[in-house]
Amino acid sequence: MTSLADRPVNPVVGLTVSHESADLHVTGAALYTDDLVVRTPAALHAWPLQAPHAHARITSMRVDPAYDVDGVVKVLTAADVPGVNDAGIHHDEPLFPTEARYFGHAVCWVLGETLDAARRGAEAIEVEYETLPSLLTLSEAIAAGSFQGAQPTVSRGDAAGALQRAPRRFTGEFEFGGQEHFYLETHAALAHVDEAGQVFVHSSTQHPTETQEIVAHVLGLTSAEVTVQQLRMGGGFGGKEMQPHGLAAVAALGAVLTGRPVRLRLTRTQDMTMTGKRHPFHATWEVGFDEEGRILALQATITADGGWSLDLSQAVLGRALCHIDNAYFIPDIEVLGRIARTNKTSQTAFRGFGGPQGMLVIEDILGRCAPALGIDPGELRSRNFYEPGQATPYGQPVRHAERLHEIWEQLTDRADIARRQAAVAEFNETHAHVKRGLAMTPVKFGISFNLTAFNQAGALVHVYKDGSVLINHGGTEMGQGLYTKMRQVAATALGVPLTAIRHVPTRTDKVPNTSATAASSGADLNGGAIKNACEQIRERLAEVAARKLNIHPDDVRFVDGKVTGIGFTDTEMSFAEVVRAAYLQRVPLFAAGYYRTEGLHWDSARMQGEPFKYFAYGAAATEVEVDGFTGAYRFLRTDIVHDVGDSLSPLIDIGQIEGGFVQGAGWLTLEELRWDVSDGPGRGRLATQGASTYKLPSFSEMPEQLNVHLYERATESGVVYGSKAVGEPPLMLAFSVREALRQAAMAFGPADHVLELASPATPEAVFWAVQDARAAADGPATAEDARADAAPGPVEDADNLGLVASGDAVAAGRDGRLAHAGGGFTGHGDGAVDTGHRTVGAGAAGSGATVARASDG
């Protein structure tokens, strides 16, 4: 076997090739799970009955009226479950609940000959509910002490003592929103049972093995009696890691009970109202700096909104805690993590898996504190970068920390930062009502599953007598290009052209016990397994070729479909010839490959160890322009330098960097989830149920100029062909967009003014930030009076920065302007602010907002 990172002569990895399904995608010929229903005779269709309450006990349910609807075949309830009535891994997610825990919770499912029949059948069912108290916001849950799961702490040194000694201390509070996955393909499953009782489920899932296990335990079967296949996904982003299991189980249960195939596909509204999202977070913090702006200590509490059940919240929180340092060395630190239980969808995995939330906290802290410290935000960040030899708060050495500095310097040069900063300053001096901002932010993201056991993968490789190759592994294709990379890995390992490699859909009866395609580990894990299987076959073929060439097997070379020996350039055989000879000599031409990530250990109770194989680094610089009258903004330019090691497939990686960046920008600037938090009958209802009400980034939100450069000379040892993961790390490059918006809004006020910015930084949020900056420019009395009246309570600190706290407060100043004194205020609130001119009603203030009127406004 060769070293995992070594590349042979003329490798196929590293070549710029298009996505393996690109032609199928653009022509509409690519098959997805729900496309199979037209090929499945007599399939039934499933429709959910969703509860109209945020929290309610089901006191009675009459399903008989559904059977009076023409075309209804079966109503599925808890009484029909032969196994375990639970769809989760923590046994806290009943498939058919007796208590609705969020608005839209499916209480039963109807199967019909047509989708319309199933829908009308669900409408006919009579359910009586006893409404119960509900908690919807993080503020409500924290006040009520409503928490679930473990409460881990990551710590090092003496944070409290270091804060006491710190020359500069600041405190704050920050609450920021979640994000809807909005994959193009909604959740879908198609199940049928064969003549032997084998249950076969097509599922749009990132974790076929776990889907298999949940289906099996709901049906009371063994895993060997259930097969799950995943063709491809129209996007996943983490939303199909845990959430598909129960839906697949419903389809499988229906198929078992009726003897007919069952198709389940959620509408967009159902998908948005029934499935989990990125976790919103709340943070309180105190940070200390020395006189040069170096971080001395951090104490914080971060609280994730987990929704109604645990799902993956504990793992998400763990990764958030492991990334709250981002790229910065914090000598003394103590951060407590909690998971709130609320009556909303069970929040789940989303690209970055808690890392973005943890990193956003420290980036917001630095963005807020830089003006008070009198240090340029970019300079403040770079002064605190990890240096070689330093370790994270959880004890992992930061290998290749020098890359952070090199990437930062490269970006500074490539983006022409010094000249453009001067140009921005000149522009802002000459434009009273339009301002620009330019910001740089770094990324350090750990790659591997925090749960060490998940860091393994298997593969199955077949070589046929004609020299063609078929590969399979446990990774799933959701558009990210994993199958493309795996074909390149196999072609490289076998020394054959890419055209010789065929990839087949992922299914549990070919490669068992697989991990989710998540944690950016798909290429690392499955690539290692593919390479291992191919090398087993190649070593056998080398023995055959060596006898024909009369050389030692170690001297046989496989290149571009030809088999030669060192020094035998005039003698060669085709790969197919060697394969045929191997078959005639009864040499096996298939192999099962396996890979486990070495060097990992993690104690989740102590939050100590080395959970990551390596760190992916990157940095981005973004320039924006903000209209002071409306808060509307333009993304003018973004420059990115990102570390992907030695790229397996550069075109795929650049696409992932661009896509991740835009998705991150959507989370931080546009995508605002809103729930009805009133006490009316609609309490708990998701108000943003589709593209008409939930703003997604589109071409118009792309930077007018986007430059992506892959960091060079970046081979990562111990990883397949020296590459690095690229799925999640680029999302955090979008912090540069948010910080650029902060810089632009700050330009409307004094340079030392501490400016909070809500997340998402919608145009509305930016407008209020501009108003805050302008109020500060009008004079200390105006701004401070507004802040004092709006603040929910005194917060003391050494630099009068306590009101960077997200008190979720909006107040009217003496001059009638609205001054915002808290981040996150663009969420929901029912209070109103009387400015003397107009009333700003519900939606102007954040969750748990304090709305105040200045004493003389």
**pLDDT tens readout for residues 497-526:** 999 999 999 999 999 999 999 999 999 999
Nearest of 494, 325, 334 to residue 396 by alpha carbon = 325
User: What local confidence, expressed as pLDDT, does residue 780 receive?
Assistant: 61
d(CA 235, CA 256): 29
DSSP state letter for 279: P
- What confidence score (pLDDT) does residue 779 get? 75
Please indicate whether residue 672 is annotated as part of the active site.
no
The catalytically annotated residue of 728, 739, 756, 764 is: 728
Cβ neighbours of 433 (radius 10 Å): 11
* pTM over 0.75, yes/no: yes
* Low-confidence stretches of the chain (pLDDT beneath 50): 782-857
> Which residues are registered as beta bridge partners of 111?
46, 74
pLDDT of residue 699: 87
CA distance 264 to 291: 61
Please write the tens of the pLDDT for every residue from 545-603: 999 999 999 999 999 999 999 877 678 999 999 999 999 999 999 999 999 999 999 99
- Residue 842, both tokens: 């519900």
- The pLDDT, as a whole number, for residue 571 is 86
552 SS3 class = coil
User: Going along 141-218, which residue ranges are E strands?
Assistant: 153-156, 168-176, 188-193, 199-203
Give the pLDDT score at 569.
66
What is the DSSP-derived secondary structure letter of residue 508? T
Q: Residue 505: name the closest of 23, 26, 32, 29 by CA.
A: 32
Beta strands in 426-555 (DSSP E): 434-447, 456-463, 469-473, 501-503, 506-507
CA distance 588 to 590: 6
Q: Where do runs of H (alpha helix) occur along 560-705?
A: 575-584, 650-669
